[in-house]
Structures are given as C-alpha cells and as structure tokens.
Copies of this chain bind each other. A is one copy, B any other.
C-alpha cells in the first residue's frame, strides 16, 4: 500500500501509444489535436488519477500561477478582509496566493520579497510596513518585470499601481460631520506622521478645520501608535487640558475605543459631552454600546480592484511599471458615538 509513483503525462502516453507531447496538447485543448484523441486522453487521465505537476509546468512555461501578498499584519480586520477578497478574485483565474507578513518590520519585508522571488511568483501585491522608508528592495521586483501592486500604504513611493482610499478627504468627511453635530473643539488622535496615510489624515483634519473656520489648536493633535492603550493615555491628556475638546477624531478604531473607555470611566456622556469618531470600521465598532462612528475603507472593494489590476498587468506582455493611483472615496458610517441630533 505504498504511495505508488505519481502518474505523469508519460504514463498516459504509454497507455494510448502516443507521445507525451500529444498528451500535453490534448490536455491543454490544443486545436491541432483531434477530438478523438482528446477524449481518449482525458478518459485515461481520469482513470489513472492524473494530477498535473504545476512545478514542472511552471518551470517550463515560466508561469507559476502563484501570487505573493505582503501584509503588514495578517491579524487585522482590514488586511484580512482585503486578502480574502484578493484571494477570491485570483482563485477564479487559476492563481494561488502566498501570504507573507512583514509584521511592520523593514527587514522582514525584505526577506519576504526575497522568498517570493525565489518561489517564482507571477506577481507581488504589497502594503508597506510602518518601518519602511527606503524602497530599494522593491526595485528588484520592478527590474525583473514582475507586476507589483500596492494597496493602502505606499501610495507614491514606488511608482507602480496603487489602490487605496482618499485619506485626506476622509478627514474632511469626519470634521464636516462633527461640525454639523455642533462640535467646535475637535481633537485628533493622529497616527505616526511618518506614514503617508496618517500624514494625509492630519492634513485633511487641519484643512477641514480651516474650511469650517475653526481655529487650529495644536494641543488637540496627539500623535499616537493608535493602540487601545495609547488611545487611553492620549485621551487622559486631552481631558487634562484647561479647555477640553467636545469631539475626538481618532485615526484608528482601537484608539477610539481606548478613548471611549476613558470617557465612560470619567462619566463623560458620549456623544452629548464629547463626540467620538474612529477609523477603519473594525467589527467591534458596531458591536459595542454606543456604536462607534467610523470610516469604512471598502475592504472588499480594495481587494477586488487590486486583484483586477494585477490581472491586467500580468496579461499585458509589454507592461512597464508606472505610477498609477486608484483612490476610492471612503465612506463615513455614522453611528451613535457622534450622533447628537
């Protein structure tokens, strides 16, 4: 009962007294093979439980049907749904997906690329680690002529296709909404400004305040790594100000939750005394009470677009990498934490 040698096209060829080439062509529906032979081949293939060896095929044809994805952190709702969506799209087209995570580390990201290239992936889909500020490791991908698609992070950095949401405008949506609710002192729990998306959210926040003729108070901007704990810390600081904010806009949902906890622990009514808005539409934002107003990044949509962009590139023989941004309009999901009216 040993695992009998795998059947190959050669075995099929032997049974039918034809050559392996004919078998290969028959299986690939080559027009030069007669229907009779095709049928016979497929029948025998089934009988012998033939399983094509993708490695061999990939080696010869130069196409592995593997796509590498680099994720900063798999363990995040946003990224895991984006990946899920990419996967669904690409599986349909016969591609398999290899997921690697950088854990927000520049070194790991470099190694990921190395590994993926060795695995001869047909393309790479990546979102930059927070640490990454040098991009030379991505040049290797470009110079090999392998399609490279970025999503969420890396907008202008590498000069290839990028899909993400409009962070600048998202902040406008938030501020506008809060102003409509009657807020006048809007604080911002900002992300680290070295990451472009967070910088954009800050810019958007500042410009939106100006647009609505609200004064800019830099005491109300707290840079944070956006964890729950840090959200708590920074919120405490905000509450200590002589002139408290009447709204908090956090650039991440976990920070927003941290803020909410501190507010509730201090018996501050949300949204009546302080309104609260988060960012990312993490699942828990709709689960807790009050539900948290947040920005939806259209996770599924981003994944779908990324996959489609990849397919376009991989099928375009003489494609050259060039900066090409697809910016989705984000959506404000208004929930109880900011609904004053």
In contact, A74 and B64 (Cβ under 8 angstroms) = no
Cβ-based interface call for A20 (8 A): no
Contact of A64 among B55, B75, B84, B289 (CB under 8 A): B55
Chain B CB within 8 A of A58 CB: yes
Say which residue of B64, B84, B261, B283 sits within 8 Å of A284 (CB atoms).
Answer: B283
Does A119 interact with chain B (Cβ within 8 Å)? yes
Does A294 sit at the interface, judged by CB under 8 A? no
Which residues of chain B come closer than 8 Å to A66, judged between CB atoms? 98, 119
Q: Is the CB of A287 within 8 A of B100?
A: no
A105 within 8 A of B: no
A97 and B96 form a contact (CB under 8 A): no
A87 touches B101 (CB 8 A): yes
CB neighbours (8 Å) of A140 from chain B are 49
Task: Judge if A54 is at the interface, Cβ distance under 8 Å.
Answer: yes
Interface presence of A53 (CB below 8 A): yes
Q: How far is the CB of A53 from chain B (nearest CB, A)?
A: 6
With contact pairs A53-B118, A120-B53 given, residues A84 and B58 touching in the complex (Cβ less than 8 Å): no
CA A101 – CA B97 in complex, angstroms?
A: 11
Write the A51-79 contact mask toward B (1 if CB under 8 angstroms, else 0). 11111101100001010000000110100
Measured CB to CB, the nearest residue on chain B to A58 is B55
- Closest CB in chain B relative to A205 CB, distance in Å: 25
Say if the beta carbon of A150 comes within 8 Å of chain B. Answer: no
Chain B residue with the shortest CB-CB distance to A257: B287
0 or 1 for each of A1-13: is its CB under 8 Å from B? (1 = yes):
0110010000000
Return the chain B residue nearest A3 by Cβ.
B145
* Chain B residues whose CB sits within 8 angstroms of the CB of A100 once the complex forms: 87, 91, 96
Counting contact residues on chain A (CB < 8 A from B), the size range is 35 or more
Give the complex CA separation of A74 and B83 in angstroms. 9
On whether the beta carbons of A54 and B119 are closer than 8 Å, the reply is yes
- What 0/1 readout, one digit per residue, does chain A (75-118) give for beta carbons within 8 Å of chain B? 10100110110010001000011111100000000000011011
Q: Which B residues lie within 8 Å of A261 (CB)?
A: 289
Q: Is the CB of B101 within 8 A of A99?
A: no
- Asked if A80 meets B87 with Cβ closer than 8 Å, knowing A59-B59, A118-B51, A120-B54, the reply is no
Closest Cβ neighbor of A254 among chain B residues: B287
- How distant is A17 from chain B, measured CB to nearest CB, in Å? 26
Residues on B with C-beta less than 8 A from A64 are 55
Chain B proximity of A128: nearest CB distance (Å): 19
**A28 contacts B by Cβ under 8 Å:** no
Q: Which residues of B contact A36 (CB under 8 A)?
A: none
- Assembly CA distance A99 to B100 (angstroms): 10
Find chain B residues with CB under 8 A from A97 CB.
Answer: 98-99
- A288 at interface (Cβ–Cβ under 8 A)? yes
Does A243 interact with chain B (Cβ within 8 Å)?
no
> Which residues does chain B contribute within 8 Å of A3, judged by CB atoms?
143-145
Q: Chain B CB within 10 Å — which of A64, A257, A284 has the most? A: A284
A301 to chain B, nearest CB (A): 15
Cβ contacts under 8 Å, A44 to chain B: none
Q: Which residue of B lies closest to A52 (CB)?
A: B118
**CB atoms of B55 and A120 under 8 A apart:** yes
